[in-house]
Structures are given as structure tokens and as C-alpha cells.
């Protein structure tokens, strides 16, 4: 039940946005065991002054205007190993499909409880049982 937010340059071709979307979804299904068809994504394009990153780099990684910010809100409980494999699958996949540098694939995970979702009708579909 992830919600994926993808933020990239307005100059990124449609094919890049589509490849990023598909790659994240593939990694969710194949690495993080997310159910098929659980694909909720928001893709936003930004002008160059709206994607802010340290020009001098951070943690030994330098960035370019082609940076892609990916934020995924999902249920907590995945192991460190799964998260590491997930990050790698996304960076490797985006690079292979688009040529975007792996250094420019920036990912943030937000872990939430199952009851923190409503998929419609104003209902808590995954309400805890007593």
C-alpha cells in the first residue's frame, strides 16, 4: 500500500518519468513484496529553482540538475536488508533504463502503521482487529 511521490525536473522527458515510475513499482513488487496492482503514485515536475540539493554534494555524493527525488510512504516492518536491496534495485533500474546517474536517484522511505491508510469511502480498510 505504498504512496510514491516522484519529483523531477520539468525538463525530464516523459519517457524518463515513465521509466522512474515503472522501476519503482517493479522494485516494490519484486523486492519489497508489495501486492501487484498496488500502484499509487504522484509525479511532479519542477523548474530548476524548485529542486534544491547541496551543490557541493553530501556524504561524498554529488548531484546534478537531473536529480530525481523519490519519497515512498509504506507500511513499516521491512528489514534493513530489504530496504538496501530496494534502494539498489531502484537506482540500478533507473540508471539502466534512462541513463540518469545513480548518484542522482535520491530516495526517502516513510514507515507508517497499516491503519494509517484510507483507500476510499472514508474507511480504514486495514483497521486493527480487537
DSSP for 3-44, written as a single string: EEEEEEETTS-HHHHHHHHHHHHHHHHHTS-PPTT--EEEEE
Domain edges within the chain: 3-116
CA 53, 1, 17, 44 dihedral sign is negative
36-91 confidence digits (pLDDT tens): 999 999 999 999 999 999 999 999 999 999 999 999 999 999 999 999 999 999 99
Residue with cell 540500478: 92
CATH of the domain spanning 3-116: 3.30.429.10
DSSP-derived letter for residue 119 is -
Mean pLDDT of 1-25: 96
Alpha helices in 64-104 (DSSP H): 80-98
Asked if residue 124 lies in contact with residue 115, where contact means CB atoms within 8 angstroms, the answer is yes
Q: For residue 76, what pLDDT is reported?
A: 94
pTM of the model: 0.93
Distance between CA atoms of residues 68 and 61, nearest Å: 14
Amino acid at each position: 500500500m505504498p504512496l510514491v511521490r516522484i519529483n523531477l525536473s520539468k525538463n525530464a522527458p516523459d519517457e524518463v518519468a515513465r521509466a522512474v515510475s515503472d522501476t519503482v513499482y517493479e522494485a516494490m513488487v519484486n523486492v519489497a513484496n508489495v501486492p501487484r496492482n498496488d500502484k499509487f503514485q504522484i509525479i511532479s515536475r519542477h523548474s530548476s529553482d524548485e529542486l534544491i540539493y547541496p551543490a557541493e554534494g553530501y556524504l561524498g555524493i554529488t548531484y546534478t540538475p537531473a536529480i530525481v527525488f523519490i519519497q515512498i510512504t509504506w507500511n513499516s516492518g521491512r528489514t534493513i536488508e530489504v530496504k538496501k536491496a530496494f534502494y539498489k534495485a531502484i537506482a540500478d533500474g533507473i540508471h539502466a533504463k534512462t541513463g540518469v546517474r545513480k548518484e542522482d536517484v535520491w530516495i526517502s522511505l516513510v514507515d507508517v502503521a497499516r491503519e494509517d491508510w484510507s483507500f476510499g469511502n472514508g474507511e480504514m480498510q486495514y483497521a486493527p482487529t480487537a
